[in-house]
């Protein structure tokens, strides 16, 4: 294979494997909480995203001290162990611990691979974005097929997915070509050729641990200063999009139900899994189409997604959309908007930030989607039971455990 093909395949696989377990866990939320029906599904979302979010927050301060090969090994250990724990144990506390391990791997992995795109052509980011979208449809559809159509027990299905992270090793150490010649030299040269103040010169000259011991406060202030210009144009719109869509997915969609005789499903549980699959299909299509459709208006995407959230909440309450098929279409459209926001945000970062800041910027903006998901999880834990109770009071008891 030539250089571009190897680069594309490696980053596409990074995206798939890094995100697939996150998607599978969300698709399995109903099944994982089957013996604890009083626990909101959004609790799984919180366990699935909070460790990733915390990892992304602290990553700009420490992750550069860990070589990429070591990061890949850590990702394999965390994600495989997490899935085995989820599959093996039925106690709620252990399930949450396993989910947290997989989440930590996903958060560290996203920052790692987004930063790694800095050393390759723009093709690498498009491939990684498409891979993360592919993870959505692969994870949700495979889980739906194995558990619903083939009737494979949930623990066995989850154990099968625990093997996937080992492909990180093959993708990174064998498939991925060498970094573009000169990229690291350009990166270093551009970062030291600019006039620097004493504080900045110290930060870039000292090793991480030596600097940490000497002047942690200055390091933190400098890092926050670099983060500030990224907030309004990139981070806030992406956070809004992810907040809206994950409130829909975890806080509202479990209550977007219709009578069983009006749906092509045998159980209400199947509706939730199908919604998840359609959402991921939309994400996959939009994250894979950036070469054909470029949407630089990031704020517009956030407004459209928030509008979707309002439609879904009012539907849950007032039941004005007449059938499940129209609801499926809205969920699919929600996925299209979410995927478009993700890939276009990071393309904008690549195009609009200087070379010496790009690796840092890619890692920092990666905090945004997790921030939106964490906020949505907190809100959804409150919202889902209130929407369900409202439906029961108005003669629609379908959301009851």
- DSSP code, position 232: I
Counts for the chain of helices (H) and strands (E), in that order: 17, 0
Q: How far apart are CA 344 and CA 237, in angstroms?
A: 11
Q: What is the DSSP string of 3-68?
A: HHHHHHHHHHHHHHHHHHHHHHHHHTHHHHTTT-TTS-THHHHHHHHHHHHHHHHHHHHHGGGS-H
For the segment 324-338, the average pLDDT, to the nearest whole number, is 96
Residue 210 confidence (pLDDT) above 90: no
| Across 80-84, 116-120, 130-134, 287-291, least confident range | 287-291
What is residue 189's predicted lDDT score, i.e. its pLDDT?
A: 36
Q: For domain 3-399, give the CATH superfamily.
A: MFS general substrate transporter like domains (1.20.1250.20)
**Are the beta carbons of 381 and 33 closer than 8 angstroms?**
no
Q: Write the CB contacts of 246 (distance below 8 Å, at least 6 apart in sequence).
A: 45, 372, 373, 376, 377, 380
Longest dimension (CA), the chain: 72
Q: How far apart are CA 363 and CA 58, in angstroms?
A: 10
Residue 285 confidence (pLDDT) above 90: yes
What is residue 204's predicted lDDT score, i.e. its pLDDT?
A: 45
Residue 43 confidence (pLDDT) above 80: yes
Q: How far apart are CA 260 and CA 295, in angstroms?
A: 39
Q: How far apart are CA 82 and CA 101, in angstroms?
A: 5
Q: How far apart are CA 276 and CA 331, in angstroms?
A: 8
Residue 28: phi and psi, rounded to 5, are -90, 5
**Are the beta carbons of 79 and 21 closer than 8 angstroms?**
yes
Residue 196 confidence (pLDDT) above 70: no
For the segment 181-207, the average pLDDT, to the nearest whole number, is 43
Cβ count near 261 (within 10 Å): 5
| Across 58-67, 195-204, 234-243, least confident range | 195-204
Q: How far apart are CA 396 and CA 263, in angstroms?
A: 15
Q: Is 394 exposed, middle or buried (0-12, 13-18, 19+ CB in 10 A)?
A: exposed
> Is the alpha carbon torsion for 145, 146, 147, 150 positive or negative?
positive
Structural domain boundaries in the chain: 3-399
For the segment 37-44, the average pLDDT, to the nearest whole number, is 81
Distances (CA, A) of 231 to 226, 305, 355, 357, 368: 10, 19, 18, 14, 9
Residue where the block lists tokens 């309002």: 310
Q: How far apart are CA 204 and CA 208, in angstroms?
A: 9
Q: Write out the two tokens for 219.
A: 């390091």
pTM of the model: 0.74
Q: Is 379 exposed, middle or buried (0-12, 13-18, 19+ CB in 10 A)?
A: middle
Angle ∠(334,48,253) on CA atoms, nearest 5: 35
């Amino acid at each position: 294979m030539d250089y571009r093909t190897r680069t594309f395949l490696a980053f596409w696989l990074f995206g798939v494997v890094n995100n697939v377990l996150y998607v599978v866990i969300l698709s399995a939320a109903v099944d994982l909480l089957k013996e604890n029906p009083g626990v909101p599904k959004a609790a799984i979302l919180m366990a699935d995203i909070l460790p990733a979010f915390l990892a992304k927050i602290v990553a700009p301060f420490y992750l550069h001290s860990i070589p990429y090969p070591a990061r890949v090994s850590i990702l394999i250990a965390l994600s495989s162990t997490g899935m085995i724990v989820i599959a093996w144990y039925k106690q709620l506390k252990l399930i949450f611990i396993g989910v947290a391990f997989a989440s930590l791997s996903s958060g560290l992995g996203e920052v790692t691979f987004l930063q790694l795109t800095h050393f390759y052509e723009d093709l690498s980011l498009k491939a990684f974005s498409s891979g993360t979208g592919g993870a959505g449809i692969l994870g949700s559809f495979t889980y739906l097929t194995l558990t619903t159509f083939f009737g494979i027990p949930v623990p066995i299905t989850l154990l099968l997915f625990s093997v996937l992270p080992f492909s990180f090793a093959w993708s990174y150490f064998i498939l991925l070509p060498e970094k573009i010649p000169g990229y690291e030299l350009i990166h270093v040269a551009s970062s030291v050729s600019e006039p620097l103040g004493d504080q900045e010169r110290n930060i870039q000259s000292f090793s991480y641990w030596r600097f940490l011991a000497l002047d942690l406060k200055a390091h933190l202030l400098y890092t926050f200063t670099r983060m500030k210009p990224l907030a309004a144009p990139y981070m806030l719109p992406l956070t809004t999009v992810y907040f809206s869509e994950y409130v829909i997915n975890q806080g509202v969609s479990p209550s977007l139900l219709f009578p069983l005789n009006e749906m092509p499903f045998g159980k209400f549980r199947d509706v939730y899994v199908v919604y998840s699959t359609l959402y991921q299909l939309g994400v996959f299509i939009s994250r894979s189409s950036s070469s054909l459709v470029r949407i630089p208006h990031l704020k517009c995407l956030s407004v459209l997604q928030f509008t979707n959230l309002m439609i879904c909440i009012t539907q849950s309450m007032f039941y004005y959309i007449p059938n499940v098929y129209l609801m499926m279409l809205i969920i699919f459209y929600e996925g299209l908007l979410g995927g478009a926001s993700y890939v276009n945000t990071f393309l904008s970062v690549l195009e609009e930030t200087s070379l010496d800041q790009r690796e840092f910027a890619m890692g920092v903006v990666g905090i945004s989607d997790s921030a939106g998901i964490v906020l949505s999880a907190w809100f959804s834990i409150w919202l889902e039971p209130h929407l369900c109770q409202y439906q029961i009071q108005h003669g629609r008891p379908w959301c009851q455990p």
